[in-house]
Amino acid sequence: MLAMLLLFLLSEPGVAIEGARFGLMLWANRLLPSLLPFLILTQILLMSGYLDAITEKLGLSYPHFVLLFGTLFGFPMGAKLSADLCAKSRLSTREASLLFIVSNHMSPAFVGGYILSETLRQPKLIPMTYALLYLPAVCYGLIMLHRLHGGAADAKKCTRADTAKKSTPRLRLNFAIFDAAIMNSFETMLKLGGYVMLFSILTGMCRHFLAALPGVCTLAAGLLEVTGAVSAIDGFFADSYPKYVAILAAAAFGGCSGIAQTASLIRPDGKDIGLSIVRYTRGKLLIAGVTALLAALLYPILA
């Protein structure tokens, strides 16, 4: 794969440059302004101890905080929050292993703006699409969290998170924390930017070499990167019904780019906290299948 990519960069520099430019523009125009403020804020809250105080004051458990804010803020906040809170013993490994799958989705702003308003031009489908993309994973997450905390044996395994939550938080806020939060957040964004650019080049390579096979090209784009997948699926299907189902399946899966980005975030400070990217991939494939099935059943009725 690396040899093929290197050969492509040397033989088709124009296509490679265009793919890299598209990836970097996507990162700069969409990911950076929408994610960076939330990353910095959550890092400040976590490092300063104010997140402990806020969750205690609101009576909100850490798992439910991750499930709520990961879904609202969008990919990859669910995985980032799960890994960081697990590393700081606010979540057990079993909780984090569940949450980094069910709370790591494309953001509502991306789905409602780019997919439904700009690409499909069907903003009326926003409520139904949000329900199809987020409700199955969130409901499953809530059920599994209830089961995790339901028995005495499971409760013992969550002692680390419970003890951390009940302890009196030590609040501190200074410029050192701001500096660390900003640097940590920019490091995360740079990782994401690198992966987005790389997979945009791979998508461009597939489009270049598979132009004579539009079906295979669309499938490859759908597996590689979400934004390219949306564009490829939109151009391949003429009928809105299969187009909608395929785009929602691609968005629910997140692409290989999303898997690579998630893998780069689940080892905070290089420390293995027991999160499996193989399990994440299986979970996202299952969520994509459920989403596609529900979309196929409900679109003819509700659209």
CA 303, CA 177: separation in Å to the nearest integer? 48
Tell me the whole-structure pTM to 2 decimals: 0.82
- Any alpha helices (H) in 49-158, and if so which ranges? 50-58, 62-73, 77-87, 93-102, 108-110, 126-148, 152-157
Evaluate whether 241 touches 301 at the Cβ level (below 8 Å): no
- Is residue 176 within 8 A of residue 101, CB to CB? The reply is no
Which CA distances in Å does 244 have to 54, 224, 235, 241, 289?
A: 39, 18, 12, 5, 14
Q: Is 252:292 a contact under the CB 8 Å cutoff?
A: yes
Per-residue pLDDT of the chain (303 residues; tens, 9 = 90+): 667 777 777 777 888 888 888 889 888 888 888 788 888 988 888 888 788 888 888 777 889 989 988 888 888 888 988 998 898 888 999 999 999 999 999 888 889 988 999 889 999 999 999 999 999 999 999 999 888 877 434 444 444 444 444 455 567 778 888 898 899 889 888 988 898 888 888 888 888 888 888 888 888 888 888 888 888 899 889 899 999 999 999 999 988 989 998 998 888 777 888 899 999 999 999 999 999 999 999 998 887
Task: Measure the N-to-C terminal CA separation of the chain; round to a whole number of Å.
Answer: 41
From 244, 259, 255, 199, select the one nearest 222 (Cα to Cα): 255
Give which of 92, 103, 100, 98 is closest to 154, Cα–Cα. 92
Q: Which residue has the tokens 């027991």?
A: 274
- Give the CA distances from residue 258 to residues 39, 50, 79, in Å, rounded to whole numbers and listed in that order: 17, 30, 11
